[in-house]
Amino acid sequence: GDAVDLARKMANAQVRAVIINTDHRENEKFRRAWGGRVELKPTAFLMELARITRGRYYGLQTVKA
């Protein structure tokens, strides 16, 4: 909740935001909703913060050796 509140304040103040997720996971991009509740996995949450702030989201996938 605090992060979303801060994101809204940033948007209202027209602060530019760049969200960089160093552990982007394609399978976590989507929201899950049930019974009026919404669950956001880490990647979806960071994408939502970028949307709220009208900022940019960059997802870097972890490279495995």
Q: What does the DSSP assignment read for 2-60?
A: HHHHHHHHHHHTT---EEEETT--GGGSSEEEETTEEEE-HHHHHHHHHHHHT-EEEE-
pLDDT in tens, 9-43: 999 999 999 999 999 999 998 877 777 788 899 99
How many CA atoms does the CB half-sphere of 29 hold within 13 Å?
9
| Amino acid occupying residue 40 | L
Mean pLDDT of 48-58: 96
pTM (global) more than 0.95: no
Cα–Cα dist 13/2, whole Å: 16
